[in-house]
Amino acid sequence: MTDAARYAGFLPEGYRSASSEPESTWWQWRGRRVHIARASRPDAPVRVMGIHGAGGHAMALWPFASLAADEGVEILFPDMPIYGLTVEPRPAQVRYRDWIDLLCDLVEAERASDPRPLVLFGASMGGMMAYEVAARTRQVAAVLATCLLDTADPEARAAAARWSFAGKAAPTLLPPVARVASNLRLPIKWLVRMNQMSNNPDLSRLCSSDPRGGGVWVPLGFLADWFTYPHTAPEQFTAAPVTLLHPAADRWTPPQPSQRFLDRIAAPTQSVLLENCGHFPIEEPGLSQLITAARSVIAEVAEYS
């Protein structure tokens, strides 16, 4: 069974048969061989780039992507360095800013080769990456995010970390530790609440044991960089409309910190709470709400492109 099929098995019955396998493509970036899962739709008016977080990878989230592809949307979904199938020659040296730089360069490269509007869909910490990439490139038509976890917010840090007190103190504690042990790698599930990835314990176990996703070992330097990274101030963000699609029953990152950040964004925003959904939103009726909201944003982008 493929990775995509294993994760698709957790979708509600009506969505499982719709899940299809992606095409694996490769992109060279700064000495890395980056894996990008794709569903090519040459006639689609809009393309969507998916961005995973610290507990996923392209194939794990592909069942969601394939639902959009089945509706005629072109999809590309990169695996970030040290995750998925991307070949990373120096895993101990990967930093959060490398992820941002990679995504910015990928957006620039994709837009240079294909002028169709590009929507970014960020899952978990990928939501904040989608936001930042849109701010930096100004080549994104819209941002969809299941979470906007601003690590400048102590409550957001407390929610992200496995131990709340450590998350709140991370900007003070991590940098000095990282200065002497920045390349030391630890299992990500030791450091964040991977056991709360889903409200379905079997899916949480799959995510946390997946050697390409939640089972990855990350360098302390990556975590220090993430907890202290200076994201674009929301009051200065005018690059694209932002839609927050936050799971309402998220036991890992509650909606409130994401909503507070969204409320400060200068660009047009909207918010949809996904009823009954955990952090990995597989439950109904929230999953259908996510699909409906994403479909609406994509249709609006297509109409005005």
Taking residue 20's Cβ as centre, other Cβ atoms within 10 Å add up to 16
Per the CB < 8 A criterion, the answer to whether 66 and 18 are in contact is yes
CA distance 36 to 26: 6
Q: Are the C-beta atoms of 131 and 232 separated by less than 8 Å?
A: yes
Give me the count of residues in the chain: 305
CA gap 94, 74 in Å, rounded: 29
Residue 239 has pLDDT above 70, yes or no: yes
Parse the chain into domains and list their residue ranges: 3-304
pLDDT in tens, 180-226: 788 989 888 887 888 899 999 999 999 999 999 999 999 999 988 99
State the average pLDDT over residues 161-187.
72
- Count of helices and strands (H, E) across the chain: 12, 10
Q: How confident is the model at residue 69 (pLDDT cuts 50, 70, 90)?
A: confident
Query: What one-character-per-residue DSSP string does 221-244 give?
Result: HHHHHHHH--PPPGGG--SS-EEE
Average pLDDT over residues 25-33: 98
Say what the pLDDT of residue 170 is: 59
**What six digits make up the tokens of 241?**
């409309």
pLDDT bracket for residue 70 (50, 70, 90): confident
Read off the pLDDT of each residue in 96-119 and give the average, rounded to a whole number.
Answer: 97
- Cβ neighbors of 33 (< 8 A, separation 6 or more) are 26, 27, 86, 87
Q: Name the CATH architecture for the domain at 3-304.
A: 3-Layer(aba) Sandwich (3.40)
Determine the Cα–Cα distance for residues 242 and 245; give it in Å rounded to an integer.
10
Give the pLDDT confidence of 126-141 residue by residue, as tens digits: 999 999 999 999 999 9
Residue that wins the pLDDT comparison between 166 and 262 = 262
Percent of residues, the chain, with pLDDT higher than 70: 94
> What b/e sequence results for 261-276 when a residue is b if at least 16 CB atoms lie within 10 Å of its CB, and e otherwise?
bbeebebebebbbbbb
Sequence-ordered list of residues with C-beta below 8 angstroms from that of 230, at least 6 positions apart, any chain: none
Instruction: Check pLDDT > 90 for residue 291.
Output: yes
Kindly state the average pLDDT of the residues 158-177: 67
- Record the pTM: 0.95
**Where does the pLDDT of residue 68 fall: very low under 50, low under 70, confident under 90, or very high at 90 and above?**
confident
Structure tokens belonging to residue 42: 């040459």
Report pLDDT for 17. 62
In order, the DSSP letters of 50-66 are EE--TT--HHHHHHHHH
Task: Quote the mean pLDDT of the chain.
Answer: 92
